[in-house]
Amino acid sequence: MNRDTAAHRPHVVLVGGGHSHVQVLRRMMMRPWPEARVTVVLDTPVAVYSGMVPGFVADQYRASELEIDVVPLARLAGAEVVLTPAVGVDPPDRRIRLAGRAPLAYDFVSFDIGSTVAGLDLPGIRERARATRPIARLVREIGTLSTSFLAHAADRPFEVVVAGGGAGGIELAFTVRERLLAAARRAGIERPLRITLLQALPEVLTGFPPSLAVRARRNAAARGISIRTGVSVAAAEDGGVRLESGEVVPADSLIWAVGAGSLDVFRDSGLPLDEHGYVLTRPTLQTLGDDRVFAVGDCATLQDWPATPKAGVYAVRQGPFIADNLRRVVAGRPLRRYRPQPDFLTLLNLGDGHALGAKWGTSFEGRWVMDLKDRIDRKFMRKFQVLDDGGGTTGEFSRMDRTAMEAMVCGGCAAKAGQTTLDRALGRLRDELGPGAGGRDGSVRLGLEQSDDAAAFATPGGDVVVSSVDWFKAFSGDHWLNGKVAAANALSDLFATGAAPRYAMALVNLPDDETPEAGAETLYQLLAGARSLLDEYGVALLGGHTTVGPELTVGFSVEGHPIGDRLLTLDGLEAGDGLYLTKRLGSGVVLRGVMLGQGRGVWLETATAQMVCPNGKAARAAVAAGLRAATDVTGFGLMNHLAEMLRASAVSAELDVSALPALPGAEELLGSGLRSTAHEANRKIAKAIRIETEASRHPRLELLFDPQTAGGFLAGVPDARSDDFLGRLREADVEAVRIGTVVPRAEDGAVATIGCGLP
């Protein structure tokens, strides 16, 4: 396709994974949306369903039961994912500002980012209180409350103060009580407990039927929970909460649930805000200031209904509307108008199997109310939880047709030509050219004959230049990340030879189905991501070359100079050397799992955080410690890269499969039978190695063949130098694991023996 005639696909960006946006993604999964490119921007890969948090506090639910992993949901919907917090929006430029990276362009954007908690700027609150927002942090930290309670002195009550008398504060007062008393029972001890709820308004549950407040007070009194209304908190202090009246209420723990507060994303956007800082929206859910910007849930205020509470039930109801309206605005069709429901079913968890409820002006309570709440909450969550606790696919998601997705070839270093192909081509070339080809003047230090990670040559002036070129098919729709990882991958080729990179040239192939404008944005994101890393390492980006073709590829040609007096090479291993590996294995299968909607967001987060770190610190430690042999582990997998070293050095190795470090999720995905598309080609090396029976059954065996993108630094370390090398790594905050030992060449020609346990 000619790029000048390529059809423009509008870029729709969903900022946040809240209750509305997960419904957008589910609808995209059920009815694909090829007319648009969709990207989800997340500050955290896991969204927490607020309706089940009180149940988690009361130990009625596991944490996983109230979590929605947005990453697999997005991938099944065909949406790309950017795991970076949004910090602002510039409507005139149509760009979203992201933390620590280049802004992201959009054609249309929707925000579903929730809110914070009001009053955090009061003295001592931020430092001493457990705030109910962000919810994920409250869920992570709630366990420490039980620890503090059990460690508390038994001669006086453990004082818990809950600030806020809305629905959230009421539920937390009851469910915290149940959690702490249950913890004491399990520990077989008695601890006096006193819970006090403070409410600034004259009554709790303002805005709900009055009878619901009566029921809440009656149940609180029956459980020894004190409710004080008409009192406002002025500050949090050591051991207490100071009220505006000057009174200090004892508090060993303060839970801050005083109501919603606006986030800063819209503060300097130029969009109209209400008096509390929330962006104003019309019934179409578009902002007043820009029809291309939508906002839903707690982050927005409806101009026609400004008194609508900041409650999750409204975000849930807005989900179908924002899903339809985004499709309609892209197609140029009239938008639907959302009107908030005048009444909704309220269900409040009391933590002991009972709940309070209200609807149509009346209230009710009992175990049946809690059963109803549980059924409603679980039904909602089943629609969005793609993976179960064991990593398997749940319910209807397991029945999805993934044929087209499974046919997709992996990106990153997993998309490189197989090593067999490379060896055959280079072998023929060496045979035809003969010894010393291309370097008969003695200037070539590393070239075709060595098959090392980089080439090296001496200039007429005697300086040694180390050079490498590396690129791969993009593995993500996050092009800033693609650029940064490609830069890290290219730099590591030089680091693997003990050289420091100084200059870089970009090599980019842009997709031919992108418009010139879209291609320019893609190139900008790639180079901006690369620059963020190259600048950090003092590498100058001098320019590059751009072509157009069927798919996006990105890479760099890099040049530098040796760090020390000699280069690290493949042929420097000697029997007795320990084999040490930095970085964990499994990026190939993790990226594959994410591509197919079978990988968790936290797995992707961990893998990408590792991939953007070049091996510079490890290389400097190796050179300073006087090591001779090293390589980096990339697309051919650990075993093939190690085999290159062993063959070049005319030795063998004994490896401990149980010592192989694994990325989170790698074992689970490999155990399920999932493989990167390059895995089987890499596994052909198994014919040249000996695998002991116990090792053949080990769950980490397949990590040997998993293709790595920007993988770790593999070094041969003589025993006499190991303390020096490992000490330098520790000082540089780099972890390394001994995975095996170099041994004399095996008589049967086996490249390596794989066992369980180091020799």
**Paired tokens of 701:** 């065996």
Q: Which tokens in the block code for residue 66?
A: 């109230």
Cα(613)–Cα(13) distance, integer angstroms: 27
Nearest alpha carbon to residue 412 among 492, 474, 487, 477: 474
Q: Kind and range of the H or E element at 9?
A: none
Rounded (to 5) percent helix, strand, coil in the chain = 35, 25, 40
Rounded distance between C-alpha atoms, residue 447 and residue 668, angstroms: 40
- Per the structure block, which two tokens stand in for 266? 């819209």
Distance CA 58, CA 355 (A): 12
- Cβ within 8 Å of residue 693, ≥6 positions away: none
Token pair recorded at residue 236: 């949090």
Query: What whole-number distance in Å separates Cα of residue 174 and Cα of residue 1?
Result: 63
How many Cα atoms within 13 Å fall on the side-chain side of residue 52?
Answer: 26
Query: From its phi and psi, is residue 370 left (phi > 0), alpha (psi between -120 and 50) or beta?
Result: alpha
Do residues 321 and 99 make contact, with C-beta atoms less than 8 angstroms apart? no
Q: How far is CA 409 from the centre of its chain?
A: 22
Q: Contact at 8 Å (CB) between 499 and 454?
A: yes
List the helix and strand counts (H, then E) for the chain: 21, 38
CA atoms within 13 A on the CB side of 718: 10
- Residue by residue, DSSP assigns 476-511 as -S-HHHHHHHHHHHHHHHHHTTTEEEEEEEEEEEEE
- Catalytic residue annotation: 413
What are the Cα distances from residue 375, in Å, to 369, 613, 693?
A: 10, 45, 49
Whole-angstrom distance, CA of residue 186 vs CA of residue 536:
52
Dihedral sign for Cα atoms in the order 588, 591, 592, 593: positive
Rounded CA separation 291/309 (Å): 24
- Select from 297, 294, 399, 301 the least CA-distant residue to 22: 297
Chain center to CA of 732: 24
Q: What angle do CA 273, 277, 281 make, to 5 degrees?
A: 40
Q: Take residue 489 and report the two structure tokens written for it.
A: 């991958």
Q: How far apart are CA 112 and CA 134, in angstroms?
A: 14
Cis peptide before 516 (omega within 30 of 0): no
Q: Which two tokens stand for residue 30?
A: 């059920």
Please write down the HEC assignment for all residues of 381-434: HHCCCCECCCCCECHHHHHCCCHHHHCCCCCEHHHCCCHHHHHHHHHHHHHHHC
Give which of 127, 134, 133, 149 is closest to 235, Cα–Cα. 127
Alpha-carbon torsion 718, 724, 728, 733, what sign?
A: positive
Which residues are bridge partners to 196 per DSSP?
Answer: 161, 226
CA distance 329 to 35: 12
